[in-house]
């Protein structure tokens, strides 16, 4: 479908919310929703329900890391740079074709990486700072997504949640390689290692994907403080029960994450797509991780979800040649999470995850107290190596 739709043919209804959780003292997450046609990012009533303009709409979740104030700074820089770059390189360009929009989102993500990396170089106390970024832009009837890290995007269609982003994490790679099962990954002591983030390295590989949306589809973007505390089926159930009250949907999702321990900051954006400019769902369009190559109709190349199981279990199902997916594992004993040094923000010791009062606790992976990027891991290992070398030198002299 052409991006130049009639102004009233597609409507965007959206709400976003962030919460500090029950373990962290401060919130290092950031999010943004912006009508790119009017450049209104207030999330006021005029943005919560608006006609999709010829410049599209932006949704973004960023989950900062780095300790001290670094994580909060990184996520704030990321959202500011992405919006600013899209304003200057897309909204003011005079060009409205989808390919330019997709390329602009990717370029804005790379610019955010440049800015955060440069900031860390200028402020050595924040060396290694970074943030995840899940960025979605809708233009016409198509979503374009840029992914760095492990915050996630789900598309809920006909009551089923499909993950349309792919985690850039060590566990995901090991699962894909057949080295670990999803259940083993959930309890691995390496589960907090992500392979990419904005900031730690001078360059970043942006996973650029796309997804055609249908009337009634719901997009959920969230940090791992939410996706790590529930399964896709929980997200679909809660959102489907609350639509069209998107504020209530955000509140209910955050409440469940907190009921399951709330060991991390929790951020979620819920968006409902409607209007005569969109096809009715059920037309056979596939939903999943679809790499963008400039061809809008390109078929999914990686992990197309066909049920509500977690992505890892779906990988195993597909690897088995399409055999029925195994049942979800039983709930494990509650995990204890240690606090970490995090940033100061105006947003309003580890805890044991309690079961929700009304329903049995879902089987969910324990969420680490901190996430470590590859760049940060290199710094830690380098420091350990230097300390060991100094100790050996002193020992030989004595």
CA 353/CA 350 separation, integer angstroms: 9
Name the pTM for this structure: 0.76
- CATH numbers and ranges of domains, the chain: 11-397 (3.60.40.10)
Residue 5 has pLDDT above 80, yes or no: no
193 — pLDDT class (breaks 50, 70, 90): confident
Using the predicted structure, report yes or no on whether residue 376 has a pLDDT greater than 60. no
Q: Does the pLDDT at position 281 exceed 70? A: yes
- Separation of alpha carbons 43 and 47, rounded Å: 5
pLDDT in tens, 223-240: 999 998 999 999 999 999
Q: What is the pLDDT of residue 100?
A: 96
For residue 188, what pLDDT is reported? 78
- Averaged pLDDT, 174-201: 85
- The answer, yes or no, to whether residue 309 has pLDDT greater than 70, is no
365 compared with 159, residue with greater pLDDT: 159
Confidence of residue 10 (pLDDT cuts 50, 70, 90): very high
CA geometry: angle at 371 spanning 368 and 372, to 5°? 135
| Per-residue pLDDT, 284 | 56
Band (326; pLDDT cuts 50, 70, 90): very low
Give the model's pLDDT for residue 265: 97
SS3 of 193-221: the string is EECCCECCCCCCCCEEEEEECCECCEEEE
179-199 average pLDDT score:
83
Question: pLDDT per residue over 64-92, tens digit each?
Answer: 998 767 999 999 999 999 999 999 999 99
The DSSP annotation for 155-194 comes to EEETTEEEE-S---BHHHHHHHTTSS-HHHHHT-TTTTEE
* Residue 362 vs residue 65, higher pLDDT: 65
């Amino acid at each position: 479908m052409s991006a130049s739709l009639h102004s009233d043919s597609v409507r965007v209804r959206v709400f976003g919310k962030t919460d500090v959780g029950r373990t962290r003292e401060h919130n290092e997450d950031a999010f943004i929703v912006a009508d790119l046609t009017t450049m209104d990012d207030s999330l006021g009533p005029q943005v919560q329900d608006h006609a999709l303009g010829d410049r599209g709409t932006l949704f973004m979740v960023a989950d900062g890391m780095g300790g001290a104030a670094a994580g909060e700074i990184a996520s704030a820089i990321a959202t500011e740079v992405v919006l600013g770059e899209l304003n200057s390189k897309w909204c003011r360009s005079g060009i409205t074709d989808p390919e330019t929009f997709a390329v602009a989102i990717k370029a804005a993500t790379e610019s955010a990486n440049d800015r955060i990396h440069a900031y860390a170089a200028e402020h050595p106390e924040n060396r290694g700072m970074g943030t995840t970024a899940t960025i979605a832009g809708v233009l016409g009837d198509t979503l374009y997504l840029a992914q760095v890290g492990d915050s996630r995007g789900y598309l809920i269609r006909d009551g089923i949640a499909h993950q349309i982003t792919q985690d850039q994490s060590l566990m995901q790679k090991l699962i894909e390689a057949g080295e670990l099962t999803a259940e083993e990954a959930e309890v691995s002591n390496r589960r907090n290692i992500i392979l990419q983030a904005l900031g730690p390295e001078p360059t970043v590989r942006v996973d650029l994907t796309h997804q055609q949306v249908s009337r009634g589809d719901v997009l959920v973007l969230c940090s791992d403080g939410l996706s790590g505390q529930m399964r896709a089926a929980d997200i679909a159930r809660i959102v489907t029960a609350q639509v069209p009250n998107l504020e209530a949907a955000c509140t209910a999702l955050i409440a469940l994450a907190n009921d399951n321990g709330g060991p991390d900051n929790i951020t979620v954006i819920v968006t409902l797509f409607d209007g005569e400019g969109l096809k009715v769902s059920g037309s056979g369009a596939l939903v999943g991780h679809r790499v963008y190559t400039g061809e809008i109709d390109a078929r999914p190349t990686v992990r197309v979800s066909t049920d509500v199981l977690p992505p890892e279990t779906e990988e195993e199902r597909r690897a088995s040649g399409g055999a029925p997916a195994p049942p979800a594992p039983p709930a494990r004993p509650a995990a204890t999470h240690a606090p970490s040094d995090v940033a100061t923000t105006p947003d309003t010791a580890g805890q044991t995850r309690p079961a929700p009062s009304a329903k049995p606790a879902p089987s969910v992976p324990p969420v680490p107290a901190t996430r470590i990027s590859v760049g940060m891991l290199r710094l830690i290992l380098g420091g350990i190596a230097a300390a060991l070398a100094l100790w050996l030198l002193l020992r030989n002299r004595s």
